[in-house]
Amino acid sequence: MGSKGNPIPTKVRVAVDERENRQCLRCGARGREIHHRMRRREGGHALSVCILLCSACHRWAHANPVHARAGGFIIPTWSQEPTTVVPVAAFYGAVTLDDEGGVAWVVHTA
Pairing between β-strand 103-105 and β-strand 93-97 as defined by DSSP bridges = antiparallel
* pLDDT recorded at residue 1: 40
pTM: 0.89
Q: Is 43 left (phi over 0), alpha (psi -120 to 50) or beta?
A: alpha
* pLDDT recorded at residue 82: 81
First to last CA, the chain: 44
Mean pLDDT of successive 10-residue stretches along the chain, which has 110 residues: 72 97 97 93 92 98 97 90 89 96 84
